[in-house]
Each structure stands twice: as structure tokens, then as C-alpha cells.
Structure 1
Amino acid sequence: MAQPVQKLWYKTPAKVWTAALPVGNGRLGAMIFGGVNEELLQLNEGTLWSGGPVRTNVNPNAYSNLLLARKALFEEEDYSKANEYAKGMQGYYSESYFPLGDLKISQKFKDAQPSAYYRDLNIQDAVATTRFTIDGVTYTRQVISSAPDQVIVVRLTADKPGQLSLKLKTQNPYKYTNVVISNSEIAMKGKAPSHIDPNYVRTANGPITEADTAGCRGMRYQLRLKAVNTGGTVTADTSGVNIANATEVMIYLSAATSFNGFDKCPDSQGKDENKIASDYLNAAIKKSWPVLYKSHVADFHHYFDRVKFNLAVPADNTVAGLPMNERLISYAEGAKDPQLETLYFQYGRYLLVSCSRPEGGGVNSNLQGIWNKEIRPPWSSNYTTNINAQMNYWPAEVTNLSELHLPFIRFIKNAAVTGKTTAAQFYHTGGWAVHHNSDIWALSNPVGDIGNGDPMWANWTMGSPWLSQHLWWHYEFTHDKKFLKETAYPLMKGAAEFCIDFLVEDKNGYLVTAPSLSPENAFIDDKGKKGVVSIATTMDMEIIWDLFTNLIDASKELNEDTAFRNLIIAKRAKLFPLHIGKKGNLQEWYKDWEDVDPHHRHVSHLFGLYPGREISPITTPAFAAASKKTLEMRGDAGTGWSLAWKINFWARLLDGNHAYKMLRDILHLTGEAGTKYANGGGSYVNLFDAHPPFQIDGNFGSLSGMSEMLLQSHLGDISLLPALPDAWSEGSISGLKARGNFEIGMKWKNKKLQTATLKSIAGGTCVLRTVDPVKIAGVKISSKKTQNGYISTFTTQKGKTYTVSALQYLK
């Protein structure tokens, strides 16, 4: 099966932001609308945020309120009172991701009605194209965001000479100044505010605080635009750049901020954004389009081409050739479209490559990747660490994009610095602590503006142990011992030290967390009262179990720190255990309470199923059955990212058909005004995840879930096709990664594995789990049949590729 061309295409321009098409190089992003008379590129620079380094000693009363909250919980069982004390433990809100601005390209035509209109996003080459014909002239616009050259380039051409007359204008929805650099170049300069309140906060003094005069809050930024014309003339003034009668125009966009690190004042200690932006621009304009394009495509292919995914296409398939809006409607109405599903898989990888790069000075992906048009974006477009920030990176390792995990790991390192202060000042503990929200400044305190936040989300405490999971994952998939020893292990140990100090004994001698939340959910207590703050919520205990287990394994890998390992083993044995409730579900709370919202979008207490490894049908069938019951009670409905999480849950329960149902649900079209597809969670017409509004974590969570359907490696073995749905009865995939640093390729037919390839990058023992018995060419294997399939164990050599064949296809 040949890999189909991976494109999103349309017959009309985008009318709304969620129909525009994204490009990005990890730092510079653009949303392209494809207008005819006026093209709009909405622009972003990944480091452009409000605010400055986090402040310390923001709530001297936090620890005393912690003690009062524990007294209310343990001695009085007064959850309402505990909730009020939790409010007294809050610090300040996070900062907000800030838009760079807009580029408007205005073209005036005698005949404004185009024919043969076409726009697309080619996700294989990371290029967006708009094409239309007016009065016998075909106009083409191509846009790339180049990582090698750190610029966005727009190429405009006409197929007849002298037909390009246009005006280029840059603007920002906030305050800015345009400056003329030359007769073909302008610079837009501005400064982000000192603080922007979250979009859900209403304050008497207004939500935006101007940049301070001390230079420690308020980041400078600059956008540079230069037009290079073939034919015609170009002039510039403060209103923009004017081009007349050209045949080709190259627009180079460069941008930079004064951001100099999470702990540096962005103004007084900031980088020279003028020099950075101008240096990138001056280097890029020396290169022609073919040179820029070739370099850009080669760089993008370095990441994107690692994974190929194909599914058999039905003989009567007619929907694959439709424009994306029509294609999604057909899919929502039940059409089979396996190529849409593989496109969606690769689109997730495209987005991750486009918004999270280890090079170029970019930072980790936020709630919207790097794409945001709002001064006050939804939820500040921040790093929401009670699932969303982590979900962005669930697919990084398994889909062979380990390097793209590194910006998130850098953020974790920064959060451990501020988190050490938070742990000491708020809890009087060692280690480091992170809460529900963070930002580019690595905010780690409980948010809420000193008592104005709802503890349901503001006071969640388990950020550092959950973030630490990603450190262990990066080691598991890469087997980079240096990274484990110098980076992962010390950070994981610091998170464990916080947990050890934060845990307290309950009346039965179990170690519990208190106060404890199950993110954004609420219970009805024994007295019939609504509550959110309690003791030892299941998610808390699962996250700590996960951290302790990973840390034990890490210590064994390094063969060091035995005393601390033994301490962790002893502490893990005393953790409050999982419980099955009276309805057969996995208990979410300390007691078997009812939920205020039985269909709540968070299913936090299934962390141990995914992304954790405490629960599995193979190792803990009773708890797996209780997890399944929980999902049935919660129902399949949900917001975009919640649907994505459920794909992962059902895949881990080895139910491929239900996982596939959730995939179809998240690919359900939404946001189409004037149609029955106007509302709800799912996917916008540009395949962005709809919370709603847009959150990119649903795209990444779906990609992770699809990968889990095909490959799992969290239980110490490599399980091939563990949750294959009936709809994917025939297909192939190559380039997926398994723990142990194995690269996997598979072909299957009639839902049965035919052959697989396994490249052992690091060497060592490999344990394969398959439904049917297999043979490995030229290798002696130890094979045994179990209740859950066949286990084949063999020793691999570093760098060697092995061929796995299903015995039934060798007969």
C-alpha cells in the first residue's frame, strides 16, 4: 500500500480561525486564512508571554492553612471547612501566552470573483498553498515556517508578468509601533503586559496590567517584514509595504523576543530582540525560494518521515477525494474513511514537529501549541499540568519524535527550581512541588490570586510526580544512561522527596495525601454535601505509586542509591490502596462517595490505567474490570481532550473496537456555523481539537491513543497489535518506538499479524507479546503460551534488525 499524499484541502477561504491552516517551526507559527482580496496570516512567537519571573513569599499563611485544612479533614471530617482553608493556601495566577500579531496582504482585483479556488496544507512537506484564477491570471501563494532559517516565508507568484500589486501591513491587537527600516522593510515593535488575568477572571481594575518600569515584568518583541520583488516596484512607510506590478514577491518574516530564560527579567536582563530578528532576516533574504524550500523540506522530513501508517481502503471509497469540510461531514454520517484516520494520525505528528523543537530557542507546547490570536486566550493558553501539558507529549516517544520531548523536559527542569521554593514555603517540605497551572516562567504555586480560585482545580498538588513520569519515559524509550543519571534521576528523586514529606498517615496507618483533589471534579459526602477537598483521592495515590515505581526501576538501572530505593519501596507498600466501589467501579475518592457529575469529563482516577501502569487486564484484571465499569458509567461523551484520553483507556483495556469508537467521536466535525455540526467537542474543519474552544492536547492525546491500539510496551514486554479494531483489519505501520529503544514495523491482514520488523537500537533482551505464535529469523527464542497470548523472549544485538513472522503465514 503506497503512502497517500497527506493534505488537508478546501474549495473556499477560511472564515474563522479554526478553519485556517497552521504552519510552525517550533518557535514561529502562522495561521493562514487563504483570503483572495485580503489574505491574513495570524502570527505567533513561542516565547512571547506576559509577565516575568515568579515571585516568592507570595502567601506567608499557606502552611498554617495547610495544618488547619488537615485538622478539618482528619479530626472533624468537615470538607467544607477544609475547602476554605485550601483557599488560604493559594498564590497568584499564571501568565498568558501573547499573540505576535497579524500580516495582512491586500490585493485589489478588477474582477473579485475567483475561479478554480484551492487552498491546502501539505503536512508531508509542511507547506500551505493558496491558488486561484482571476481574469485569466493564476495567482499562487505558498507559506513555510522554516526551522533551519528561523523565518516564515510567503512566496507570491502570478503566471503572467507584472500582475502582483499588493499592500503588506503588520499589526497587533495590543499596543505596537511600526518603524521603517528601508524602502522594502518594516519592523513592528511592542511590549507585552506585566500581567494578564485568565479569561475566566473578572476584576474591578481590569484584566491587563501594563509593563512595569523596573524591567522585570513585560517582555519586548519585534516582528520584521521584508519584501523582495521580481519586476515592479516596492516602497515602504509606517502604514506598510506597497508593491506594484511585480511578477513574484518573496515576503520574509522574522521575529524575536527579549525572553532570556524563566528566571531573567525580560526587559532589564533581556536578549536583544532587534539583533536576533534582524540577523535571521538578513541571512534568509540572501537565499532564493528553491534553496529555502529545499532546506525546509529536508529538515521537516528528518522528523516526519520516520513513521509510515497505511490502512486498506475500501473498494467503494469515494470520500477521500473530497475537500476536508465535506469529508468530515461524510465521516460524521458514517462513511468509512481509513485514509482520513491515517491522515489524522500524521497530522498529530505534524503539529508536534511544528510546535515543539529542541533547536531554535523554542519552548514546550502550550494549550494551543504555538497558535493563538487572543490577548486573553482560553485558560491563558498556559501549561495546565493536571493533564493537558502532559497529554501534549504522550505521543512524542512512541511516534519516534523523542527529540521533540526535550523542550518539555527543559520546562520540567525549570519547574523543579521554582518548585523547590514552593515546596519549602507552602508546605515546609523538601523536594519540589508543582500545581495546576504553569507558564513560561515555570510558575509552581497553587494559583487562585490568594483565595479567589476554586480549590477544585487551583490546589491540586501532584504536578511534580506526574511531570516526572515524562523523565522516566524519555529514558525508557532512548536508554540514554547519561540523561537518566544526570537529569531524570535527580529530578524524580526531588519529586519523591516532596511526596514523602507531604504524605501523612491516616487512622489505619496508610500513607495518604491531604488535602487531596481529583482534578476539577466534586463528590457528595456522607452528609449529602458537595465537596472537592478530601483525603487520598485515587489519582493522587496512583501518581505517587507511579513515581515511586519508576524511581525504584531507575535506581536499579543505575545500580546506585540503594538506601533511598529501599525507603521508597517501604513507602510504596504503605500507600493507600486502590478500592472497588459498591457499583463495581474503581473508587475515585477516599470513601465510596457519589459524583456530583456522574459524566464528568475528567476520569482522573484511571491514571493508573493510562498513562500509568498500575492497572492492566494482564496484571490486575479485577481493577481493570473496575476501570471498564467506570468508563461505562462515565459514558462516551466528553470534550475533545477527554475523548482522546478515553481512546488511550480503551486501548489499554485491549478493547480496540471501543477505542476506535472514541476515535470516530473525536473526529466528529464541530464548529461549522449554520449546520447541525455547529457545537460540541470533536474536531474543527482544520482538524484542530475542539474542547471547545481549541486545545491542541486532544490532537496529541488521540495520536497517543491510536499508537496504543497498535503497540504497547509499558508492562515490560512489547505487545504487537494489542487493541486492533475490526475497522483496521488490514494495514501496515513502520517506525513506531517501544520501550527499550526498539523501532517497530508491522503488517497485518484479517486482524492477524503477518510480519514485523524489530530494530534493536540499544541491544539487550526483548520480550514480545503476540496473539499468535511467531518465528524470528535466525534467532533462537524462548516461547510460551499465556492466557493473554504468546510470549517470545530473545537476546538482541545493538543496531540489528530482526524479522518476526507469524507461524500461520509460514505454513
Structure 2
Amino acid sequence: MNKTLKYISPAKSFTEALPLGNGSLGAMVYGGVPEEKITLNYDTFWSGTGHREEKEIDSSTLEQARKLIFEEKFWEAEEYMKKNMLGFYNESYMPLGILSYVFEKVDEPKEYVRFLDLENAIFTSKFKNHETEYISKMFISNPAKALVIKITANGMDKLDLKVKLDSEVQHTIKTEKDCCLYVSGNAPSNVQPNYVACENPIVYDEKNPGMAFCCYLQVTHKGGTVSADLDGLKIQEAEEVVFYLTAADGYKKYNQRIETNPEVCEKSCGNQIQKLNSKTYKELEEEHIADYQSVYKNVSLELEEIENDLPTDERLKRVQNGKQDLGLSCLFFHYNRYLMIACSRKGTQPANLQGIWSESIRPVWSSNWTININTEMNYWLNGPCNLIESFTAFVDFVEELSHAGEETAKKQCHCSGWTANHNVDIWRQTGPVDGEPKYAYWPMGGVWLCSQSYEYYRYSRDLEYLKNKIYPSLRGSVLFCLDWLQQREDGLYYTAPSTSPENTFKDGEGHACGVSYMTTMDLAIIKELFANYLEACNVLGIKEDLIEQVNERSKLLPNYQIGRTGKIQEWIKDFEEFDVGHRHFSPVFGFHPGHSIKKTDTELVKACQKFIEEKVANYKQQIGWSCAWLINLWARLGDGTKANYYYEELLRQSVYNNLFDLHPPLGETEGEREVFQIDGNFGSASAVAEMLLSSEDGKITILPALPESWESGKVKGLLAVGGVEVDIAWKNKKPISISLCSSVDQSINIFYGNKKLTEKIELKKQEQQIIDLHSCEWI
């Protein structure tokens, strides 16, 4: 129920098209008639050459910035840093190709419908023309590494198709035999971000070319004929056609030379096609479904909604007009889990700002990894929503950055360990980009990444990943922070320079300043880092002198502060904010997504809530990812009614017809446009899980923030900390049963509201326990 997106007309734009993906290869399917259009992406296909020297910042330059900051000459410090301490813009994520085909005999399509089946990750479109039914089914297989499309004509007419491959980047088109078509070429050597005005924003340098790429299409057919020329393939009088499309590019690893010869990619694609030829379409489909469902798992949400067969865009419009649709709330949750699997699998790149789906050669914000919130938010859902396999792409990404960031730590920050600032591209740029210090200079990016990476262990209990991938990155970040923290006359340690991501305060002369020392965000994520490091050492049985250093330094960090209005303070001093409704909720990181502010810390929790309320009261516009963060915060505060209000607000104001989250223009630079940004999708799914289940080691709380309107329902397959799968059923707003299945032997206390089950639950590895709560005693 509510696991299928349905539409009764073809997509007119990217934001109506439907996404497919296997983590690496992505497609946006328009479902067009008579012309179908499918735009293609590949997760490692970026502009750039991989050759970039790390900018060096002399230690005296850093010390001068600190001197100005500690003298509280914040505006002077900011201008000094802008001139001397910023770097180069990222490269950009590239579109790969465009597959199109025309139904040449179709002129009066009727009874059109298209679906995206979330349980099987299959797109289907159907229509009739002259009493012949045309059916297209397509999926992107992870095992086969290919887009597979089957088109059938059932009736008097046969299939006449004209097929083309194209690309937005420089390319050539070739045919092979009579059934193969491919497009290949090279990415640009450099692409400037869309917000940078320059004469030549897209550069192809023949002496230093970008990576090679190829899309390779093979057609098999039942009946009829296929012919090829440079205009594409022509299929005539076929009963059934199957397309197989593979892709490759020249990226190897961030620190290895790229392949610039397209012929190498062509050969790689051809070899992959040959492997597919040994299997039937049915075998490939069955293999794809089994692989996908092994990751998707049996996770579902039902809210006793009325069965609804309306098209998804019509349902969305009704919600935007004030109607309630609990089923659409469920569908959105299932869709967002689907998107994670489609754009993040073991061995792929992690989800970027647009997952893997982008049609622009100059995508907004370069479609990069923005690590001052967006990349981490992408992966908030993976633990609680039971998407552990898709989490590994993020953990592997952090491990690579920890090596790349050692040079930045050494040459720019004069610290040991590693660091990363707010923007990262495929070449693992970790230094500050150009622009403004309020966003560009943020060496805490790596620290936040480590916190989110550690969540993989908390939910999976994967000791091998903890030991070999998470712990080394964690330790390197600890080394960086110990060197980066500066002791002042009061004996406490502070970060400097320090920013609260993208926000500004007024100095004494009314300047908008972003630079100060030890913002609350810096303090919170360092606290999180130190706590995770100490826990990891304990779990792994590590004994080293660094443990004592971390324990001592933790005691000498400043405390959280509460400002004059009763809200948690954003900066080291109670400055006046320039934009009270700023989109970031950075100062409450310690409460969510961090854990250093506990629910039992009554005064600090109250101060966090006050911060949230003031922020919302001054919002200028609804921004998807910021709204998703707000849903999570209200869920953690235990207010399901407000959490659900903003969950529905996201649907009302911040999603397109294909349920992609949107980001509006901020009004900060010329040429800004509304754009799809996937963090709002993923962040909202995390919030749904937080409404229904909260957990920590040995403790599970059920329905901690159940919305008033979710009166009865059930959720299956959520994951608690410690690797416990949890099913919950409730009626009349009260839980009636729970089911638990643990990946390890452990004891669990179950809480509901302020009550605890009298008996601890003893769980045996992989043994399901079903508990009827009607017969249980609570204390």
C-alpha cells in the first residue's frame, strides 16, 4: 500500500520525470509519447583533471587572523581571511548522456499511465494506440551494471522505433554492427560554479583533457529488423525490443591519474554488454529485484489510510490545497528510502546534493558534497530506516577524505591529523573554496563527517568497519582538533577562526560578520567527536596516551551558553544576529543530530526549543532541507503534532510533482534558480523514524513523538541502536504490540512515554520476539 508513484500523463520537465538508479548509473525517465526521453548520470563523472596543488597558508597568516579575532576585531579578521585564506572553487558533477526513442506509428495515444514501483525499483509506462497496447518496463540493475528496457506491442501494430544517444558534453556518436550505438567523449577540463560570472565557465583543454566517458546501447528484438546509421538505430515491425545500456568513465580514484582515452571506456562498456548477453530479460529482472530487495528490506509504514488510486501529482495538489492524505505521507517515506538505495550502494560514491540525478552542465552549487549540513543529512536516515548497506558509501567517502585532508591540515592549518572544509568534489578537495569566509572557511567539516560515520557502527555493530575504516578517520580528526584548539588566559580551549555555518552577527559597527572564535557548533561537534573516540577505543580495546589527552581536553572546553532571550547561544558572545530566521540550526547540533545535550538536560533542552521557536518565527521562506531538520528537532523534542505539521508543510511547499525536494533561490547571487536538492527527501525520512522510535544502547522508546493524526497504524523494520529491528503496531494512539529481532545477543529495556516495561527483554541473535503489550506491566 502506497508504494507506487502513479501519473496519467508524461513528464514535461525534470521535476516530473521519475528516477532510477543502481548507486552509480542514474536515469530520469520522462515516459514520453511519442518520444521518450531518458537523461543519464554516472556517479564519478565530473569535470576536472585531478591535478590541483594544495594551497599553502603560512603559519604567520593564520596567527594574524587569530590575533585579530581574539582582539575581537571580527570584521577586520573576516576581510583579512577573505584576502589571504580562501582557495579555489570545486569542479562540477556532469550529465552523462541522453537516450531517446520515438514511436513512429503512434499518433493518438490513449489510456496513458506511468508507474514507479518502489518495492521492485521498476518503471512502467502503458498506453494504447489504434487498439494496440504499448508497454515499456525499465530498471537499472546493480548486479548487471546496466539500464535494461523492454518495450512490447500487444495488438495489430508492431514497434517502429527511432533510437538516439546524445550528450551535453563534447562527444562523438558511433554505431557498431546493426544493433549497437554508443556516445563517447571527454568531460570538460574545468567548469566554474553556476554562480560565478566569467567569460569561459566551461573549458575543454586538449592538452589537459577531462576524464573520458562512454554510454553504450545494444538492442535485441523479437521479429522485425534493426538498422544503424550515424543518426541512430531504426527498428521496424518488431513485436518486442530490449535495450541494454552500460556506462563507464575514466575516473579511477581521487589520487590516481584519470583515463582520458574514450576508446578505453568504449571497450569497458562493450565487455559489460557481452556479459549481459548470456542472460534473458526475465533473468536480469529477477536478479535485479532480488538484489534491490536485499537492501530495501521489508520496511513499511501504514496509517490505516483509505486506499487511494489517484495519480500522485493530484494527491500532492490536494494536500497543497489543505486536504489530508495519510497515505501520501507513507508514500513519501517509502519513496525517500527508495531514493537512497538508487543513489548510494556499497562501492559507489555517496549521494551528492542531487543524489546522482542532474541534467545541467553547470549544476547549482556544482551538485557537490556540501559538508556543513547537506551531506551528513543525506545519511541521517540510514541507521533508523534500516539502510545499512547504502551507508557504506558514506563511510568509505569519509575514509578517503581523511587521507586527502591530511595535506590541508598540514599546509593550511599547521595541525596533525586531517581536516575538510565545507565543499568537496570528486577530487576530494578539502581546503576552503573561494567566496566568503562565513561558508568557505569551516575546518570542522571533517569533524561532523566523523560523527555521522560513527552512526554506521552504532546501528550496525560492524566491528570490522569500525576498526578498519571508522576508527582511523575518527582518530585523525581527534589529532586535528587537539592541535586546532587554542588555550586562552582562562585556561579553556577555543577554536579560531570559527564560523557558524553561513550565518552572521553584527559587530559594534553594524557589519555582518561570520568569523569569531568557538561557535556553539564547533563546541558541539568536538564534544561529539571526543565522546565517539573514547567509546570506540573502549569497544576495540585500544590503550594509548591519546585517550588521556582527550579526557583532559574535554574537561577544558567551554560550556554551552544561554543567551539573553533564553535560547542557546550561537556564538561565543551573545551577538545580535543579522538574520534571526537564518536557515541553519547549527547551534542545536548537540541536541540533534548530536547527543551531548541529553533530554534530561532540562535547561539546555528548553534553550534549544527556544532557539527553534525564535528561528521559525522569523523564517522568510521555507527551504526543504531546513524544514526537514526542523521536523527532526520537533520529533526529538517529543512533539509529534509539530513534527507532523512540518512534515506535511514540506509536502505542501517544498516538493515537486515527482516528490523531489526543492530548494528555492536565496536571493544572495545573480542567476539563482529553484533547484532539486535531495537532502530534504532524506532528512524527512529520518524524522519519520524519529517520531516512531528512539533508541540508545540497551534502551528503546516506542512512539516517542506520535502525531495526533496518526491515530492507528503500524511500522515494520525500523532499526534501533545496537542492531535491533523493530516492528510496532498501535491503535487509538497507544502501542498494542512490538516485535524485536537483534543482530547480536543483548538485553533491552522498552519505554513508552514515562513508563518502562517491568521486565528486561533478553534478545538472542536473529531470533524474533513478539510482545503483546496488552498483557505487559509498566512501571
Q: Shorter-chain TM-score: what band? A: over 0.9
Q: 1:690 to 1:57 in 2, by over 3 A?
A: closer
**1:605: how far off?**
1.0
CA contact (8 A) 1:767 1:794 kept: yes
Q: Distance in 2 between matches of 1:714 and 1:195?
A: 46
1:444 aligns with 2:416: no
**Which residue pairs with 1:806 in the alignment?**
773
CA contact (8 A) 1:161 1:246 kept: no
**Which of 336, 357, 371 is equivalent to 1:348?**
336
The within-5 A match list for 1:41-440 is 41-53=38-50, 55-58=52-55, 60-61=56-57, 63-109=59-105, 112-160=107-155, 162-204=157-199, 206-211=200-205, 213-214=207-208, 218-267=210-259, 272-313=264-305, 317=306, 320-359=308-347, 362-440=348-426
1:19 aligns with 2:33: no
Q: Distance in 1 between matches of 2:490 and 2:49?
A: 45
CA contact (8 A) 2:74 2:515 kept: no
CA contact (8 A) 1:28 1:44 kept: yes
The within-5 A match list for 1:468-617 is 468-616=450-598
CA contact (8 A) 2:189 2:204 kept: yes
Where 1:728 maps in the other structure, the secondary structure is coil
**Which residue pairs with 1:780 in the alignment?**
none
CA contact (8 A) 1:223 1:254 kept: yes
CA contact (8 A) 1:100 1:172 kept: yes
CA contact (8 A) 2:74 2:516 kept: no
**1:34: how far off?**
1.1
Q: Distance in 1 between matches of 2:364 and 2:279?
A: 38
**Where does structure 1 lack aligned partners over 5 or more consecutive residues?**
669-680, 776-782, 784-791
**1:807: how far off?**
4.9
Q: Distance in 2 between matches of 1:742 and 1:159?
A: 48
Q: Distance in 2 between matches of 1:687 and 1:234?
A: 38
Q: Distance in 1 between matches of 2:695 and 2:262?
A: 44
CA displacement, residues 34-57 of structure 1 (integer Å, 9 cap, x when unaligned): 111111001111111111335334
**1:793: how far off?**
4.0
CA contact (8 A) 1:358 1:404 kept: yes
Aligned-residue Cα RMSD (Å) equals 2.0
CA displacement, residues 423-459 of structure 1 (integer Å, 9 cap, x when unaligned): 00001100000000001221111111xxxx1111111
**Which residue pairs with 1:623 in the alignment?**
604
Q: Distance in 1 between matches of 2:777 and 2:694?
A: 25
CA contact (8 A) 1:68 1:82 kept: no
Equivalent position amino acid for 2:486 in 1:
V
**1:73: how far off?**
0.7
Q: Distance in 2 between matches of 1:415 and 1:632?
A: 36
Q: Distance in 1 between matches of 2:698 and 2:565?
A: 32
1:632 aligns with 2:613: yes
**1:508: how far off?**
2.6
Q: Distance in 2 between matches of 1:809 and 1:31?
A: 50
**Where does structure 2 lack aligned partners over 5 or more consecutive residues?**
665-674
CA contact (8 A) 1:397 1:737 kept: yes
Q: Distance in 1 between matches of 2:761 and 2:4?
A: 41
CA contact (8 A) 1:656 1:709 kept: yes
Q: Distance in 1 between matches of 2:402 and 2:162?
A: 48
Q: Distance in 2 between matches of 1:505 and 1:54?
A: 37
Q: Distance in 2 between matches of 1:657 and 1:454?
A: 38
**Which residue pairs with 2:640 in the alignment?**
656
CA displacement, residues 228-259 of structure 1 (integer Å, 9 cap, x when unaligned): 11111111111111111111111111111111
The within-5 A match list for 1:709-724 is 709-714=691-696, 717-724=699-706
Between the two proteins, what is the percent identity of the paired residues? Answer: 37
Q: Distance in 1 between matches of 2:748 and 2:6?
A: 43
Q: Distance in 1 between matches of 2:726 and 2:446?
A: 31
Q: 1:773 to 1:196 in 2, by over 3 A?
A: same
How many residue pairs get matched? 765
**Which residue pairs with 1:682 in the alignment?**
654
Where 1:8 maps in the other structure, the secondary structure is strand
Q: Distance in 1 between matches of 2:433 and 2:712?
A: 49
Q: Distance in 2 between matches of 1:520 and 1:155?
A: 48
**1:704: how far off?**
0.6
Q: Distance in 2 between matches of 1:63 and 1:664?
A: 50
**1:385: how far off?**
0.6
Q: Distance in 1 between matches of 2:262 and 2:30?
A: 33
CA contact (8 A) 1:774 1:804 kept: no
**Which residue pairs with 1:735 in the alignment?**
717
Equivalent position amino acid for 1:371 in 2:
W
CA contact (8 A) 1:402 1:474 kept: yes
CA contact (8 A) 1:419 1:433 kept: yes
CA contact (8 A) 2:631 2:643 kept: yes
Q: Distance in 2 between matches of 1:274 and 1:143?
A: 23
**1:305: how far off?**
2.8
Where 1:156 maps in the other structure, the secondary structure is strand
Equivalent position amino acid for 1:441 in 2:
W
Equivalent position amino acid for 2:724 in 1:
F
Q: Distance in 2 between matches of 1:665 and 1:496?
A: 39
Q: Distance in 2 between matches of 1:458 and 1:87?
A: 12
Which range moved further: 489-498 or 750-759? 750-759
Where 1:461 maps in the other structure, the secondary structure is coil
**1:164: how far off?**
0.9
**1:130: how far off?**
1.3
**Which residue pairs with 1:675 in the alignment?**
none
Q: 1:274 to 1:465 in 2, by over 3 A?
A: same
**1:734: how far off?**
1.6
1:797 aligns with 2:764: yes
CA displacement, residues 573-611 of structure 1 (integer Å, 9 cap, x when unaligned): 111221111111111111111211111111111111111
CA contact (8 A) 1:65 1:86 kept: no
CA contact (8 A) 1:191 1:211 kept: no
TM-score (norm 2): 0.95
**1:764: how far off?**
2.5
Q: 1:333 to 1:808 in 2, by over 3 A?
A: farther
Where 2:768 maps in the other structure, the secondary structure is strand
Where 2:292 maps in the other structure, the secondary structure is helix
Where 2:417 maps in the other structure, the secondary structure is coil
**Which residue pairs with 1:788 in the alignment?**
none
**1:738: how far off?**
1.0
Equivalent position amino acid for 2:279 in 1:
K
Q: Distance in 1 between matches of 2:51 and 2:491?
A: 38
Where 2:610 maps in the other structure, the secondary structure is helix
CA displacement, residues 113-140 of structure 1 (integer Å, 9 cap, x when unaligned): 3211111111111111111111221111
Q: 1:54 to 1:752 in 2, by over 3 A?
A: farther
**1:715: how far off?**
7.1
Where 1:18 maps in the other structure, the secondary structure is coil
CA contact (8 A) 2:409 2:418 kept: yes
CA contact (8 A) 1:161 1:247 kept: no
